Amino acid sequence: MQKAIKTMLMRGGTSKGPFFLADNLPADIAQRDRVLLAVMGSPDKRQIDGLGGSNPLTSKVGIVSTGTDPGVDLNFLFAQVLVDKAVVDTIPNCGNMLAAVVPFALEMGLVRAHGDTTTLRVLTLNTGMKCDITVQTPDNELTYEGDAHIDGAPGHSAPIKINFLDTAGSICNGLLPTKQLTDFIDGIPITCIDNGMPLVIMSASDLSRSGYETVEQLNADAVLKSQLESLRIKAGILMGLGDVTNKTYPKMCLISPAQFGGSISTRCFIPHVCHDAIGVLAAVTVATACVLKGSVADVIAQVPDGLSKSISVEHPTGEFTVELELDANDPSKVLSAALIRTARLLMRGEVMIPKEI
């Protein structure tokens, strides 16, 4: 008396979750969300009755379909399933899960490989963002084997290159939703920015922290988390996002000088739990803030000269390099952002949910 739904469990970057063909899920959004909550076992802090891993990074879903817009090969809808609340959030993007979209589509036969590498254009339905994703397909066969390593995921895998075509104002009304490079909330300077992910960036020292604390220390810091949530709610209004109390954005990011030769050090909250690494689009947004003169990040970051900039964003488990191309006529404008991720198929089969759902 259970319902079986075809799925593939995929790791995308430093996240993982089940991927579905859109046609295999209900068209009605409310019913689809009930299905996804049952699939992941939410709401329950252990997600013991579903596929979720009791962490925001392992409580994610990918939904894929054939592209319908001209020039678009695949449509991707990302769903963040909250662990302890009956909420499915499809407003923000996820650049990590994005890395698994083309492998999933190739595995499912939605698209075909062409040559030793295959590049497909993907439209993220959450925000309308487009990107070109290149995967390794020697002899027209998808491979997960390779020498690429990303911090936050063990081992080595085939590189997957993601070239974001237009990320500014993914959810907000522009790159700088408050129209200011620096705002002040409760006397604390912050930069509100959205270049793929709405972020509130602030210096850790302004909150009396070093910014080098461990994830465990920060997650146990009730005073800091309360202060961050107060700032987040006030910043959400400034950013035109309304009441963000029950929203997963904006994310909060503490920054400090790099420790290991990178450009900047980060501790990101997503939004209430400190990230073990950093999200793809959060890294792109932090890197963008680093090149904007007058931002909070500008006075801390070590940024190379030139219009092509390699920004190394340090995080609790390593670093994340973002390649930015700036406009020669307006160096404050980012033309493109590219990066390397990896992905792997973990399991294929059917997920079972109660039939009455």
Alpha carbon dihedral 88, 92, 95, 101, in 10-degree steps, equals 50
- pLDDT tens for the 357 residues of the chain, in order: 899 999 999 999 999 999 999 999 999 999 999 999 999 999 999 999 999 999 999 999 999 999 999 999 999 999 999 999 999 999 989 999 999 999 999 999 999 999 999 999 999 999 999 999 999 999 999 999 999 999 989 999 999 999 998 888 999 999 999 999 999 999 999 999 999 999 999 999 999 999 999 999 999 999 999 999 999 999 999 999 999 999 999 999 999 999 999 999 999 999 999 999 999 999 999 999 999 999 999 999 999 999 999 999 999 999 999 999 998 998 778 888 999 999 999 999 999 999 999
Cβ proximity of 24 and 36 under 8 Å: no
Q: Are residues 128 and 268 both part of a single domain? A: no
Q: Are residues 148 and 241 both part of a single domain? A: no
Inside any domain, residue 50: yes
Inside any domain, residue 173: no
What whole-number distance in Å separates Cα of residue 216 and Cα of residue 195? 28
Q: What share of the chain is helix, strand, coil (3-state, %, to 5)?
A: 20, 35, 45
Backbone angles phi, psi at 208, to 5 degrees: 60, 35
Q: Are residues 191 and 153 both part of a single domain? A: no
CA-based end-to-end distance of the chain: 11
Q: How many CA atoms lie within 13 A of 297 on its CB side?
A: 29
Task: Scan for tokens 């997963």, then name that residue.
Answer: 248
Q: Are residues 308 and 349 both part of a single domain? A: no
User: Helices (DSSP H) in the chain: which residue ranges?
Assistant: 29-40, 95-98, 101-108, 215-219, 222-238, 280-290
Q: Are residues 149 and 205 both part of a single domain? A: no
121: left (phi over 0), alpha (psi -120 to 50) or beta: beta
CATH number, domain of 254, equals 3.10.310.10
Q: Are residues 195 and 143 both part of a single domain? A: no
Structural domain count, the chain: 2
What whole-number distance in Å separates Cα of residue 205 and Cα of residue 11? 35
Inside any domain, residue 24: yes
pTM for the structure as a whole: 0.81
Which residues lie across from 311 on neighbouring strands? 322
Q: Are residues 19 and 56 both part of a single domain? A: yes
Which residue range forms the structural domain that includes residue 100?
2-159+342-354
Q: Which two tokens stand for residue 46?
A: 């252990």
What whole-number distance in Å separates Cα of residue 113 and Cα of residue 348? 20
Q: Which two tokens stand for residue 281?
A: 């689009």
What whole-number distance in Å separates Cα of residue 236 and Cα of residue 239? 5
